Chains A and B, each alone.
Chain A
Amino acid sequence: MKKNLDDLSFHFRKRIRVNWLAIKLLTFFVFAGTITLSASTYSQKTKIDLHMRNSSLADIFSSIEKSSEFIFFYNEEVVNDQIVKSVSVEGEKIEEILEQLFAGTDIAYKIDDHQVFLYKKDNLKQLEQLKMEIKIEQPQKKQLNGKVTDIKGEPIPGTTIFVKGATVGVVSNSNGEFILNVPFDSKVLSFSFVGFKAQEIPIGNKTYFAITLEEETVGLEEVVAIGYGVQKKIAISGAISSVSSADIIQSPASNVASSLAGRVTGFAAVQLGGKPGDDDPVLFIRGIASLTQASSTPLILVDGVEREFNRLDPNEIESISILKDASSTAVYGVRGANGVVLVTTKRGKSGAPQINFTSNYGIQKPTNLIKFIDSYTYATTYNESQLNDNPNGSVRFSPEAIEAFRTNSDPILYPNTDWMDYMLKPSSFNLQANINISGGNEKVRYFVSVGYRNEDGLWKKLYPWDATFWYKQYNLRANLDINLTKTTSISLTTNNIAGRQNQPYSSQADDAWFRAMYWSQPYSSPGIIDGRQIITGSHIPDQMKQGFNPDYGSGTRTTLKNNLNFDIGLVQKLDFITKGLGFRTKVAYNYAMAQTKNRTINVARWYADPLYVYVPDAPAETRNTVVYRKQGDDRILGYSESNTSGMNWYMETAFDYNRSFGNHNLAGLIMYNQSKAYYPSVYPDIPSGYLGFVGRLTYNYRSKYFIDFNAGYNGSENFVKGRRFGFFPAVSGGWIVSDENFMKKIPVISHLKLRGSYGFVGNDKIGGSRFLFLPDTYNGSAGGYNFGTSVPQNQITAGESTIGNPLVTWEKSRKQNIGVDLKFFKGNLGISFDQFYEYRSDILITRNTTPAFIPVKLPPVNLGKVSNRGYEVEVEWRKNKKEFGYFISVNLSKAKNKILFNDELPQAEPYLATTGRSVSQTFGYIFDGFWSENDITNVSDFPTHWYTPHAGDIRYKDLNNDGVVNANDQKAIGYPINPEITGGTKLGMNYKNFDFFVMFSGATRTSRLLGGSLQIPFSSLFRNTAQWLVDGRWTPETAETATLPRFSLNGLGYNYATTSDIWMRDASYVRLKNAEIGYSLSNINRFSISKIRVYVNGYNLLTFSKLKITDPESQTGDRQLYPLMQMINFGLNITFK
């Protein structure tokens, strides 16, 4: 009854004004006309629910005051306890209630915004008196003001500030500022905000309060997204890592998954390439537990629905949860075995509109480009190879050519083109911008975001048409939550991602471009001269490969991809049935299309021959005159296009229950969901579907002892009717030991929690096939055979086609996890540790024991078994002071798998067995030195190899000592491509207006087997050769120091193209993945700006690895992808109030 009016009106005026700004901006972006917030008075827009029976008027008024901002002013003589009324209204205006209440009484009312004056009918004097009293009250108060910020100096809007022991209070505005009139006798001000430690400050004589709130270290109230819901972090007993919005935005990586690498435990992202718009890494949660990489990929859900993830604008993401153990993934049942990535997008919160603008501009360049040899080196080492094979034989490059290459005297006839240098720019730019608005009130909350990304590629523009790489992306999101009634709300989620990708036209797989450059000899062409593609002529023996090959210069290709997502959800509280019960349902729709436009063209190629080819006896001085010979014709740009599209929808409907009975807290969930995807790649005419039931029951006592049951009951169409449904249960428990009395005696430990989980999940990924249970089929036109003497047409043949396995079923995964969370020193030091074991069985394999005399394409059977075990540890130290704060955190994850059964036959030597080794283990020969001249003369002292050795050739180890080096002498070499151990270190600090952050990420127990151009000189006899092969090769002079065998064309297969440990390289690395320095200015009371931050950040800035030849994350075979990039960005972030 004594709320301070001025404070409140200040607050509300402000809100109304800003609302108008929000509406303008919203209209500007998308939502023209869909949100109309009225600026009418409080009484006009406030609707009240009230159910009271036989209560005094005073009680009714105080109840209204509690649930709204209305304040009643009256004299006791007018309203007394004798008047007892019942009232039951829902969503009614205050007038309606008052009319009801005062019907038949002599009470009149006057409403002025949120003040309600009651007086005796016709006694206007009484009314005036009441109004006077309020004004008289004013001088008895004093005005306090101040500002609330966090440790970094960021304002905390929405902080509740009130006088202790009184009801006088305000909420801080978007700048964290507040003005509060308090009675003179007020003693203590209390400041509180969710997630921060509350503070109580004596008022004394102060009138200005600069308050810094510290974050609540234990994070009791922090919630984490879990499968089909959220859970307080404190209550989680499974294994879940989560990343917040701020972390994701901090990384300038161009895809979301890469920005997670190194930040969380149990999650690995291996980025193999950096093509603009197409650089998604390979993801694994706790490594690989099936027999193939393809069957081990996690389920990725955005807002609970399987959809595009990597191309989201990081500014749209609220959080990402990585669900790792059985208890967190059991609800996904048959699809949960490989872990789940849950992405939650941002939604509006009640409050004044926040407008946030971010833009950064950066330059990027490859982390590492492979170096290839120049023309002179090529010619001399090629000749060397030939002479090594036959000292008396002929050589490919004449002394004249070698001299021309050495002196670079004739760049047209004897070119020396560094193809990467010729075709690539040293760096390219990228631009990213996002503006988003969020806010709302009790009824409607909105988050609207528009993002733009422009990534330029490395290609130079060598042609009139745009045969370069670039990528542009437009993100648009509008998330809207509407409270229809006090118990009903709906949420709408719309998202559109439009991407336009350009690249040179290619008739081959997209990654052929770098391969073409790797294969091109430096002498094959001087490049483009006067618009002509020049190719070196027949004076150098044939087999030219230019960077243009196979079809650079044959046009351009643009791919337009559009990805539309739409969700509508409804939540209905069912407290009227039983308290704590709720119903929700959601329907999601996704549509994706891609349109590829090819503009193809042919250009003439010009062979540059010296004149003497045509006129052998031309005068000496004219011999090297260039004669251009045209091949093919220039054509005009053609056009063709192709389209693909896909559509799917998802529906879920659920009952939630959440209630506390004293110290017993109980929650439950029952859900039914189903999804359908149209136009799948196999049997596109038959949509593929999933359906499942989800059940969850969680219980805790005093928030100290926790137990959760999770289960999924799922059906998958991949299995035969009657065997389609599986039940996947999991149980987990937690104990907050630190809440026990005996632990309170150890003050150093502020938090100790033990967690454990055990359960079963499934995996129905079966190598991209569908309906493997189908019976055997025959092929009615399998091939042809030609009878007769003169009948050109073949007779059609028929044959067995596929053999079915009606009993095929899903992979079963049994997972266990134990974890400890510890906090020391009032939460400054935090340690979290998880240990897991997974046993995967029923993995689809084909039998190896089937005899050769049953020569059929064997059906997959559920026989494989793999175990996977590992641990995760995270240590964090955090210290926050007013002007200076810092934190350092280190995380480490290990996952190591082992094949337990894959129907392997006993091998001739135990070390040949794949059983007991990691999935995808490489086997190869062991390098045992190079043959010396002396060894060759005593060749019979050594094991026999399959190749007659010469000095400088590799000698392989005879592992079984049988005197012969053969297939039985290959053993496991190297670690898997996907690292067994990954980790990261984050270090951040802030001082006054500066903030600074670095993150290192690293991986070890990972190897790369060099292949293709990185392994084989003159591969396929003529391809270009990596510099490192030349540098390391054996020659009689370098016999002592050589690391690689001699160059020899006959010995290429034996020395270079044989898998041996000489090509297996440790690809461990430590990377300065991310660094950022920023400067912020807040309290800028101009242009409605509340904060400006400028920053510089970088990505992949430094790499430390033993693998120097190429980037340690990249692929090392011939199918080279676009290289990985490093970036430096300059950014600006503005928050408007």
Chain B
Amino acid sequence: MKNIIICFFFSGIVCFFSSCAKIELGGDFLSNPPDMTTINKDTVFNDIKYAERFLFGAYGTLPWPIKYNVSQYYYLENLTDICSAAKGLPAYYNGTITAVDENTGVGAGKFNYYSGAWGGIRICNIFIANIDKVPSASETYKRQLKAEARAIMATLYCNLYRHYGGIMWINKDLPVTTIGEFPRLTARATMDSIVALCDKAIPDLPWVIDDIINWEGRFTKAGAMGIKARTLLFGASPLFNSATPYKEGEAATRKLMWNGSYDANLWIKARDAAKELITRVESEGGYVINKSTGNYRKDFQNAYFTRGYGETLISTRRSYLANTSDTYGIVWYNGVVNYTQEYVDMFPMANGKPITDPTSGYDPKNPYVNRDPRLYESVLVNGDAYQGRKAELWIGGKERVTVDDSPTYTGYGPRKFILDHDNVTLGGAIEQFPLLRLPEIYLSYAEAENEVNNGPTAEAYRCVNIVRNRVGLGNLPSGLSKENFREAVLNERALEFAMEEVRWFDIVRWKREDVFKKQLHGMRIYKAGNVLTYELFPLDVRNWSINWNPKWYLSAFPYLEIQKNYGLIQNPGWEI
């Protein structure tokens, strides 16, 4: 009787089990991971569709300088003389930033390009190492894709080079467990490597994208040639190309942040690289700088803003439409960027004459009339047409409610990239960021030609004037000295490329301590009745203007990267 009960009980337990799961004992009982239906490296490089997607991921790592950090003020332009952040870039303006601050990414530190740039380089390395495995794609197309990857890599390396000087050269798909020595190349070797990378990419890239409606934005020969010219110009400039390093230190001894000597040939190389591109543009077309329609302002706006317009050699495009509340929007408008009076004063009159020229027609009581059209397209100035009315930048005006109203506390508002900051002009606009525009090459060429020939040649003048004429400015006065011409070119670059990250590298590569030391100003406009009065006021003193140190020319490597012991040597002045 009781045995029956026990049997019954046991069979009950067994049934219970069987209903729960198969009877599995021991190791089989433990669950196994899901079948690997997910994608891995082999599947990506087994299908051209996925391989292309992987490369497009690399495009996504191209710099997007106007969107670094939506809540902070880390715009490279804010370190130059043309802009100032309303709330300041405290660590920079008061000079307290150290290599340790760079440990923690964008925002807390400077810009931390170092940590930011490698993601794209890794993608390109993996792509180059594996693309040949892809079946069913033509060799020509694979060569083109590889060249695109090299061009993206060159663009990223070029930024590292301009921020840090010599950099370790990673050209392999490194496993996660990698340890070992990865020393920085010398500055010269870094430049040569970037140029070689471009040279390798150029032959396999198309001159222009045939189907611009669908594929504009992919790398072209012209883009790669442009990066090459940009790199060579930086390497030829006095920061690196000099008889002495800009600052002594271990990095200087090892020639990691200068070339070790002055080499006049570098200017020739820089000139030739730019010239080669210009010559081809002018003979072959596809890109154009002077598409003058007579509406100079619109022309200039199209030049940097409009896709497919012909001036942009490399663009970044993370989405289709501009987002008024993010990309070009409120955030930027909230005082992240404030143009200085010094910048406004750099713009000549519409007749091309600088405002300091008594014959220019400049009226200090009415300072914003008849100026270079690019002023109005870059800077929001009082009285200009804005949102269907006139911009009110006097204190108490619509754009400047109080004296400290952060969006306009220098007396000027941003216009470039955010247009009228409304749904009419910006809302729904198709966005891009012009990473490299043709005018830069023209001006780089003019600059290098001036250096090579110890003075401006006709060709140098021609190239500057093409840029000026496009917005209706007359030619530069002839007979300028080498120095004056150089200054005129740098000035022209400042006017042309507001917020395009050109000015910072210009003042750095020319070691323009004088620009760093400028006391910058803002403008307070008071309105009484219909009378406007203008009052210049000094902006907060930047620490480097009173306490100069050439360390500022290059960035600090994050302190913890140095500590990782792979042979990274800090730039001079940033050692701890």
Contacts and interface: CB of A to CB of B under 8 A. Distances in A.
Most buried by A among B30, B182, B543: B30
Contact of A858 (B39, B101, B176): B176
A797 interface: yes
A851 B215 contact: no
Interface in A707-721: 715-717, 721
Contacts of B214: 787-788, 791
Given A851-B564, A854-B122, A788 B213 contact: yes
B273 to A, nearest CB: 27
Interface string A787-798: 111111111111
B565 to A, nearest CB: 8
A787 B218 contact: yes
Most buried by A among B13, B56, B213, B318: B56
Nearest to B561: A852
Contacts of A672: 25
B319 A797 contact: no
Contact of A851 (B13, B40, B54, B561): B561
A775 B101 contact: no
A411 interface: no
B394 interface: no
A792 B56 contact: no
Given A771-B33, A908-B100, A968-B98, A798 B559 contact: no
B42 to A, nearest CB: 9
Nearest to A948: B94
Given A785-B56, A788-B215, A854-B122, A794 B96 contact: no
A961 to B, nearest CB: 13
A91 B5 CA distance: 14
B122 A855 contact: yes
A789 B118 contact: no
Nearest to A675: B29
A916 interface: no
A778 B118 contact: no
A16 interface: no
Contacts of A112: none
Contacts, number: 251
B101 A967 contact: yes
B57 A799 contact: yes
B318 A966 contact: no
Q: Which 5 A-B pairs have the closest CB atoms?
A: A798-B53, A789-B308, A797-B57, A905-B563, A771-B33
Interface string B76-112: 0000000000010011001111101101100010000
A508 interface: no
Interface in A838-885: 848-856, 858-859
Contacts of B36: 774-775
B31 A777 contact: no
Interface string A161-205: 000000000000000000000000000000000000000000000
A484 B96 contact: no
Nearest to B567: A851
Contacts of B87: 1050
A784 B56 CA distance: 8
B57 A393 contact: no
Interface in B247-286: none
B136 interface: no
B21 A852 contact: no
A798 B122 contact: no
A867 to B, nearest CB: 24
A687 interface: yes
B402 interface: yes
Interface residues of A, number: 93
Given A853-B174, A946-B90, A776 B40 contact: yes
B94 A947 contact: yes
Contacts of A776: 40-41
B101 A850 contact: no
A797 B60 contact: yes
Contacts of A392: 403
A146 interface: no
Given A785-B59, A791-B214, 20 more contacts: A393-B404, A685-B34, A715-B27, A778-B41, A780-B50, A785-B57, A787-B56, A788-B211, A788-B216, A789-B430, A791-B320, A797-B53, A798-B57, A799-B57, A851-B178, A851-B564, A853-B121, A905-B560, A966-B96, A968-B100
A91 B2 contact: yes
B486 interface: no
B323 interface: no
Given A393-B403, A849-B564, A966-B100, A855 B41 contact: no
A716 to B, nearest CB: 7
A1101 interface: no
Contacts of A968: 98, 100, 576
Nearest to A715: B30
Interface of B: 1-2, 5-6, 9-10, 12-13, 16-17, 20-21, 25-27, 29-34, 36, 38-41, 43-44, 50, 52-54, 56-57, 59-60, 87, 90-91, 94-98, 100-101, 103-104, 108, 114-115, 118-119, 121-123, 126, 168, 170, 174, 176, 178-179, 182, 211-218, 307-308, 317-321, 402-404, 430, 540, 543, 558-561, 563-566, 576
Contacts of A854: 118, 122, 174, 176, 178
Contacts of A770: 33
Contacts of B403: 390, 392-393
B187 to A, nearest CB: 18
Contacts of B174: 853-854
Interface of A: 91, 389-390, 392-394, 484-485, 488, 490, 568, 570, 572, 585, 587, 589, 649, 651, 672, 674, 676, 683, 685-691, 715-717, 721, 724-725, 770-771, 773-801, 803, 848-856, 858-859, 905-908, 944-948, 964-968, 1050
B40 A777 contact: yes
Contacts of B211: 788
B61 to A, nearest CB: 10
A944 B39 contact: no
Contacts of A724: 27, 30
Contacts of B558: 852
A672 B19 CA distance: 20
B91 A946 contact: yes
Nearest to A780: B39
A795 B214 CA distance: 10
B122 A852 contact: no
B217 A787 contact: yes
Contacts of B56: 785, 787, 795-798
B63 to A, nearest CB: 14
Contact of A717 (B31, B91, B95, B308): B31
Contact of B50 (A798, A856, A1050): A798
Nearest to B102: A967
B17 A651 contact: yes
Contact of A966 (B20, B98, B121): B98
A484 B6 contact: yes
Nearest to A803: B176
B107 to A, nearest CB: 12
Contacts of B321: 792
Nearest to A487: B2
A786 B319 contact: yes
A122 B53 CA distance: 108
B317 A787 contact: yes
A779 B20 CA distance: 35
Contacts of A777: 38-40
A623 to B, nearest CB: 24
Most buried by B among A488, A908, A948: A908
B343 to A, nearest CB: 24
Given A850-B176, A851-B178, A796 B53 contact: yes
A947 B40 contact: no
A498 B2 CA distance: 37
A858 B177 CA distance: 10
